[in-house]
Amino acid sequence: QVQVVESGGDVVQPGRSLRLSCAASRFTFSRHPMHWVRQAPGKALEWVALISYDGSNKYYADSVKGRFTISRDNSRNTLFLQMNYLRVEDSAVYYCARGSLGYSYGPFDSWGQGTLVTVSS
């Protein structure tokens, strides 16, 4: 059973930084693109970032571009999201999601349970 487990969520003040991690197991992590998706309380899903299977290509939502950085360590089967200059509106549950094998842009076929980020003074 594919597993992705997020960690790193916390309560932080506006303007501070936070790093999320996503540990992957039971699949060949290095062959899949990976995504971060967030969901504010009671709101719809919002895509945040995508990284290609080898880390060579990265894409971001306009709302986080220049502040967030997605990365991966295929030797450790781990995905990261470095979040800088956090804003109140970044408060959400952040999900790690696996992209489909063989497609740069494919459906998200496995999701973690999410980690909660709260930005508040």
Partner 1 sequence: DFVMTQSPDSLAVSLGERATINCKSSQSVFYSPNKKNYFAWYQQKPGQPPRLLISWASIRESGVPDRFSGSGSGADFTLTISSLQAEDVAVYYCQQHYETPVTFGQGTKVEIK
Looking at the Cβ atoms of 57 and 75, the one nearer to partner 1 is: 57
Amino acid at 102: G
Question: Are residues 33 and 27 in contact, defined by beta-carbon separation less than 8 angstroms?
Answer: no
Question: Are residues 19 and 40 in contact, defined by beta-carbon separation less than 8 angstroms?
Answer: no
Query: Which of 81, 74, 88, 76 is closest to 119 using CA atoms?
Result: 88
Looking at the Cβ atoms of 1 and 121, the one nearer to partner 1 is: 1
Task: Give the binding site for partner 1 (CB under 8 A).
Answer: 35, 37, 44-47, 50, 59, 61-62, 95, 100, 105-114
| Min CB(13)–partner 1 separation in Å | 27
| Min CB(59)–partner 1 separation in Å | 4
Tally Cβ neighbours within 10 Å of residue 75: 8
Looking at the Cβ atoms of 14 and 106, the one nearer to partner 1 is: 106
| Min CB(95)–partner 1 separation in Å | 6
